[in-house]
Amino acid sequence: MVSRRSFIINTSMAAATVCLVPSLAFASNKKTIGLQLYTLRDELPKDVKGILEKVALAGYTEVELYGFSIKDKFWGLEPQELKKILDENKLKAVSGHYGLGTYLSDGNTTELEAVIKAAKVLKSEYITIPWLDESLRKNADDYRKIASLLNKAGEMCKAAGLKLAYHNHDFEFKKLGDITGYEILLKETDKNLVFFEMDLYWIAYSKINPVELFKQNPGRFTMWHVKDMDKNTKTLNTEIGSGVIDFKSIFAEAKLSGMKYFFVEQETNYKPNAIESIKTSCEFIAKKLV
């Protein structure tokens, strides 16, 4: 049995050790903040290595990829080459935005199969569909077809040890009779196969309460895009914490949402440039939200 005196001595020694090595105090409470690399789409393709170094120095530990194609891979880099650069900067590509070729129109899986191979090399967790072409979403039946194809793609991803996710814009919230496209996707996809990445800017733009969606569909929104709305012009983004979106109330419901990862994204209105903008956003999130 440990005596009270021994316990006090041992505890004091442990506390002293933590003081001598401050990183030990926070090792189990590391703040993990992700960045959607599309934010840096003008800079990244010109200097992948240099830009990813800056992303890491800005405080990010996770990224979400974009821009893959069978022909050019990632900006001319093979997945193995990109993985090496990410590893060198202690960055993990937990998700990627991938176009799936013609899969969502005709079911051709060629591009999907290539995407799965790339994501496996990168040791990602999610393959995320970023956009639906307007020709694919003209009515409710179109969304039902998309839901069916998402389920099938989700099965393929699951078989490969991956997960499939869908990222929203604003068009999914337009009424198609008495229902929206987003409601159809949520209702008609298998919650064990298809997950959702909620873009908080587009949710705010569409005047939707994200917490209500969390309550109606608990656990389905496993990823978020944390993107702020400019105070003066709602069509513009701004650095996190500088706009109108109340992120604190949303982050308070992260568990209900099912959120595992979130990614800062800013597509417009950088102050004074994209690199400085991602620094500002990361600092605000680290201090105020996580």
pLDDT at 19 over 90: no
pLDDT at 20 over 80: no
DSSP string, 171-229: GGGSEETTEEHHHHHHHHS-TTTEEEEEEHHHHHHTT--HHHHHHHSTT---EEEE-EE
pLDDT at 161 over 90: yes
Tell me, yes or no, whether 23 and 40 share the same domain: no
Chain-wide mean pLDDT for the chain?
A: 92
Tell me, yes or no, whether 76 and 41 share the same domain: yes
pLDDT band at 31 (very low <50, low <70, confident <90, very high): confident
* Average pLDDT of the segment spanning 46-56: 98
Domain tally for the chain?
2
Tell me, yes or no, whether 26 and 37 share the same domain: no
Tell me, yes or no, whether 15 and 135 share the same domain: no
Q: What is the percent of the chain with per-residue pLDDT over 90, rounded to a whole number?
A: 89
Tell me, yes or no, whether 161 and 20 share the same domain: no
Q: What is the pLDDT of residue 30?
A: 56
* Average pLDDT of the segment spanning 110-132: 98
Tell me, yes or no, whether 109 and 241 share the same domain: yes
Tell me, yes or no, whether 156 and 14 share the same domain: no
Tell me, yes or no, whether 14 and 50 share the same domain: no
Q: What is the pLDDT of residue 241?
A: 98
Tell me, yes or no, whether 237 and 260 share the same domain: yes
pLDDT band at 4 (very low <50, low <70, confident <90, very high): very low
pLDDT at 259 over 70: yes
pLDDT at 91 over 60: yes
Tell me, yes or no, whether 123 and 6 share the same domain: no
Tell me, yes or no, whether 26 and 101 share the same domain: no
C-alpha 105/C-alpha 146 separation (Å) is 8
Q: What is the percent of the chain with per-residue pLDDT over 70, rounded to a whole number?
A: 90
Which tokens hold the place of 145?
């077809």
- Residues of the domain holding 16: 1-30
**What tens digit of pLDDT does each residue of 191-227 get?**
999 999 999 999 999 999 999 999 999 999 999 999 9
C-alpha 93/C-alpha 103 separation (Å) is 23
Tell me, yes or no, whether 117 and 220 share the same domain: yes
**What tens digit of pLDDT does each residue of 62-90 get?**
999 999 999 999 999 999 999 999 999 99
pLDDT at 17 over 60: no
Furthest-apart CA pair in the chain: how many Å?
74
